[in-house]
């Protein structure tokens, strides 16, 4: 099976070329530039893309991490989420169901001043895991923006779980 990753950018952002190139070392990449404020059906657009393109992995950041969380749940695929804005649940149409993604890696920046990492961690503690392998990593010096080194470390770990962050 060929790997295909959906990269979902954050609010008021866009897919960054350097991050897409890092993902391409492991997988084909699908990445749309979305205006979340003007496209309330973003969840459906991305969900349809996952089916159409046979996406096998999701990487999302901030609001893209929120979408990635629920898309991975719906479609039962692994995800890597950077500072996901999971508390935004009531503000965006999404589907909650019981497929549960098989592997979820969540990276939280302790210095994030946009998405409170404690709120995200609390949400994750209370969300049912069933068969999901979940790893939450707290990064002491990380803020909301994800630097390329951190992005590379965790993307590498998503596709090569034997290569723990910090060891590559």
8 Ramachandran zone, left/alpha/beta (phi>0; psi -120 to 50)? beta
pLDDT at 80 over 70: yes
The answer to whether 74 and 99 have CB atoms below 8 angstroms apart is: yes
pLDDT of residue 48: 96
pTM for this predicted structure: 0.89
Q: How far is CA 16 from CA 3, 37, 42, 151, in A?
A: 20, 19, 19, 11
Q: How far is CA 101 from CA 15, 91, 97, 105, in A?
A: 23, 22, 11, 10
pLDDT tens per residue, range 99-157 = 678 889 999 999 999 999 989 888 888 877 666 777 888 888 898 999 999 999 999 99
pLDDT tens per residue, range 4-48 = 999 999 888 888 899 999 999 999 999 999 998 898 899 999 999
Show the tokens assigned to 16.
């960054």
Greater model confidence, 137 or 96: 137
Containing 135, the helix (H) or strand (E) segment is strand 133-139
The answer to whether 107 and 80 have CB atoms below 8 angstroms apart is: yes
């Amino acid at each position: 099976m060929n790997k295909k990753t959906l990269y979902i950018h954050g609010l008021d952002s866009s897919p960054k070329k350097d991050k897409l190139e890092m993902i391409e070392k492991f997988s084909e990449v699908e990445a749309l530039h979305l205006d979340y404020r003007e496209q309330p059906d973003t969840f459906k657009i991305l969900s349809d893309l996952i089916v159409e393109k046979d996406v096998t992995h999701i990487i999302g950041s901030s609001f893209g991490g929120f979408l990635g969380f629920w898309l991975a749940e719906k479609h039962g695929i692994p995800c890597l989420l950077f500072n996901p804005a999971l508390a935004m649940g009531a503000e965006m149409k999404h589907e909650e169901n019981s497929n549960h993604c098989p592997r979820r890696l969540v990276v939280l920046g302790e210095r994030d001043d946009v998405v409170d990492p404690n709120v995200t961690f609390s949400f994750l503690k209370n969300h049912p895991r069933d068969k999901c392998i979940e790893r939450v990593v707290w990064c002491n010096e990380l803020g909301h923006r994800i630097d390329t080194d951190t992005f590379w470390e965790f993307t590498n770990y998503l596709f090569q779980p034997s290569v723990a962050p910090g060891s590559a």
